[in-house]
Structure 1
Amino acid sequence: MRTHACAGRRCGAGCGRPRCTGRGCRMIGRRGLLGASLAAPLLARSGTARAHAFPDRPIRYVCPFPPGATNDNVSRSMARALAPRLGVAVVVENKAGAGGAVGTRLVAESRPDGHTLLNASAGNLTIAPHLSNVGYDPLRDLAPIASAGEAYSLIAVHPAVPARSMAELVAFARRNPGVLNYGSAGIGSAGHLRGALLADEGGFEAVHVPFPGSAPAVNSVAAGDCHLIIDPIAAPLVRDGRLRALATLGPDRWDAFPDLPTLAELGIGRDWPGSGWFGLFAPAGTPAAVIQRLNRDFNDSLAEPEVAAALRRFGLRPEAITPQELGRRVAADHAAVGAALHRLRIA
């Protein structure tokens, strides 16, 4: 059996049609049909594999805070490191608002294919969901991928504040109830919770002043409009002498400020819930193979000296962990923070 699609007078391909010229004649014999039928499934599978290849287009790397915030700095460092490993552009998008909830919800509602990722911090996953209807469940709607590490923070004040130690700060605040205020990256941010915890443990009243990100918050303290901030973003201003650091908050002393005591050394904050970590997340339902690929490339990036050095400048201690370990950390912090907010009557 032979089929053809020729046209013309004489067929040079030997199809036997008197008007065939052979130009464009497609002759398929039994062997050709058999070969085509065997190849079809392979071609179909090959096309499917290409359609599901990851990544197959640029990746949106969502930072849920404004430019200049610590989250933004971490996002841009990791985006630059990931791009050559993934072979596509990794584009940071700032989607700020509601203490990080706006950008987080955008990612939670995105297509779960690994091409829209979130650079989350503890605040928008373990604090903000307890304070308002953020539109997402951090334990159900997001898939943990990797951690950029634990974050240190500085407890810093404007030089006009009459305190050169935590003891003097607490004494000043007690003598002047309701006078001391503290800026943060917004309601539900880590700085918000820590300021409330400090006031509670110190036995004084303090006014929370929320900003749409840590950059405007620290600038307000530097300008003297606010008195206090608890955030790693204060580090450059402390080095420049525009702010005075009283202590650090973290798992141990911050090597960038080795002479500053930790709050724990001063007997403060030992039982504070939640840690200051930053992590990479995807929408729930993202394929396991994609999660593993991103985890591997992210952790490999943390091992690069330039990346690790950049993260340390932003106040992080780089830490490579598994998606499962990050998921357990989020769940534990979410529960502990919820209990603390209820005790403080914030939630």
Structure 2
Amino acid sequence: MSTSRRHALLSFAALLSGGPLATLPSLAQDAFPSKPVKIIVPFSAGGPTDVLARMLGERLSDRWKQTVVVENRVGGGSTIGTNLVAKAAPDGHTIGMVVMAHVVNPAIRSDMPYDTLADLSGVSQLTTSACVLVAHPSLPANSVAELIALAKSKPGTLSYATPGVGTLNHVSGEMLNKRAGIDLLHVPYSGSAAAHADVISGRVPLMFDVWAPVREYVKAGKLKMLGVTLKDRLTADPQYPTIAETLPGFEVVSAFGMVIGSKVPRPVIEKIGADIASVVKEPQFAAKVRDFGMEPVGSMPRDYDEFIRTEIARWSKVAKDSNIKVQ
């Protein structure tokens, strides 16, 4: 081997073992963010997902010394906005807010424009929240057990409203049908506001929803609570029973999270995840989250990735068992 070639190989080995190349991950992490960051929200402005994104963006902007812009891209059961995140330049400057539709969609949709597990990486689970089963006060059932008995006595006559086919609200109702051996009829709407209006007016007697947006209706007596979908009762409202107290093992958890394109360098994903987790755990931010009826989480990327994989598998089974499919 020539002397020049030996020197070249030794230099390359030195780079790998501790020279400039070894610092590339650190440089990538330290350089982020180098320009304004975009948070894509796959729902319209003003809803809980949008509000949470804007709260988070404000704190991240302070931390990163860069502008953080929230952009609302609606449609496709949240897939239009999330697809923009999956296809964005892999530099970490485009992040996406997701809800449980992120893990339900792969189980029920045949038109997915991206591969949820291959094209996207979890950044952080921001919050967790109960879903609840609520009813119009006129419904002659005041508990899950009474609802099941009523549904069995009048098969195919009781209905439940949802913001649309394939939403967490929808699959929760189908899971209740399957577990309880009843036949509640699904009435899909174009969004939560329309579904709320018809349940509050009594046109449709039942609805599954996240606790935060219906809490005030329950407390005002416009809706009545039948059951909470968590394993344990709500910490702030322990007077409300869980559905699992009647149907052991019944559990539906709603979660907000952040995802990013899977080709973004891992050190950048870890930095973003750590910064977001830190913000979520700040006492003032966490208090605001609890005011919305949610619990702050602030997980790291690998933990959120595992949550996503587990929930996709879980809802795939529910969709298969209940024959739920969006063409």
- Deviation larger for 171-180 or 257-266: 171-180
1:302 matched residue in structure 2: 280
Q: CA deviation digits over 1:140-161, x for unaligned, max 9?
A: 1111111112211221112222
Shift of 1:251: 4.0
2:227 is equivalent to residue 247 of structure 1: yes
Match of 1:87 among 65, 87, 94: 65
Matched residue of 1:276: which SS? strand
2:114 is equivalent to residue 136 of structure 1: yes
- Residue 106 to residue 155, structure 1, CA distance change in 2 (3 Å): same
- Is this contact kept in 1: 2:132–2:226, CA < 8 A? yes
Matched residue of 1:159: which SS? coil
- Residue 178 to residue 340, structure 1, CA distance change in 2 (3 Å): same
Q: CA RMSD in A?
A: 2.2
How far, CA to CA, are the matches of 1:213 and 1:56 in structure 2?
Answer: 37
The structure, 1 or 2, with the larger RCO (C-alpha pairs under 8 Å, 6+ apart) is 2
Shift of 1:316: 2.1
- Residue 225 to residue 90, structure 1, CA distance change in 2 (3 Å): farther
How far, CA to CA, are the matches of 1:181 and 1:76 in structure 2?
Answer: 35
Q: CA deviation digits over 1:301-328, x for unaligned, max 9?
A: 1122221122223332211322111111
Matched residue of 2:156: which SS? coil
- Residue 106 to residue 192, structure 1, CA distance change in 2 (3 Å): same
How far, CA to CA, are the matches of 2:53 and 2:201 in structure 1?
Answer: 27
Task: Select the structure of larger CA radius of gyration.
Answer: 1
- Is this contact kept in 2: 1:96–1:212, CA < 8 A? no
Map of 1:173-212 to 2, 5 A cutoff?
A: 173-212=151-190
Matched residue of 1:204: which SS? coil
Match of 2:195 among 217, 226, 229: 217
Shift of 1:241: 1.9
Q: Give the counterpart letter for 1:241 in structure 2.
A: G
**Structure number with higher helix proportion:** 2
Shift of 1:102: 1.8
Q: Give the counterpart letter for 1:94 in structure 2.
A: N
- Is this contact kept in 1: 2:244–2:250, CA < 8 A? no
Matched residue of 2:253: which SS? coil
Q: CA deviation digits over 1:113-144, x for unaligned, max 9?
A: 22211111222x22112222121111111111
2:292 matched residue in structure 1: 314
1:62 matched residue in structure 2: 40
Match of 1:226 among 204, 210, 219: 204
- Is this contact kept in 1: 2:131–2:253, CA < 8 A? no
- Deviation larger for 88-97 or 234-243: 88-97
Matched residue of 1:182: which SS? strand
Q: CA deviation digits over 1:227-255, x for unaligned, max 9?
A: 22222221122122221111111242112
1:162 matched residue in structure 2: 140
Q: CA deviation digits over 1:252-276, x for unaligned, max 9?
A: 21123210011122234x155x632
Matched residue of 1:338: which SS? helix
How far, CA to CA, are the matches of 1:68 and 1:178 in structure 2?
Answer: 35
2:51 matched residue in structure 1: 73
Matched residue of 1:191: which SS? helix
Q: CA deviation digits over 1:190-230, x for unaligned, max 9?
A: 11110111122222212222234334332332233332222
How far, CA to CA, are the matches of 1:184 and 1:105 in structure 2?
Answer: 24
TM-score normalised by length of structure 1: 0.78
- Residue 217 to residue 59, structure 1, CA distance change in 2 (3 Å): farther
2:12 matched residue in structure 1: none
Matched residue of 1:62: which SS? strand
Give the unaligned 5+ runs of structure 1: 1-48
- Residue 102 to residue 207, structure 1, CA distance change in 2 (3 Å): farther
2:246 matched residue in structure 1: 266
- Is this contact kept in 1: 2:166–2:324, CA < 8 A? no
Shift of 1:68: 4.2
2:315 is equivalent to residue 337 of structure 1: yes
2:216 matched residue in structure 1: 236
- Is this contact kept in 2: 1:58–1:91, CA < 8 A? yes
Give the unaligned 5+ runs of structure 2: 1-26
How far, CA to CA, are the matches of 1:76 and 1:63 in structure 2?
Answer: 10
Map of 1:108-123 to 2, 5 A cutoff?
A: 108-123=86-101
**Percent identity at matched positions?**
32
Matched residue of 1:230: which SS? strand
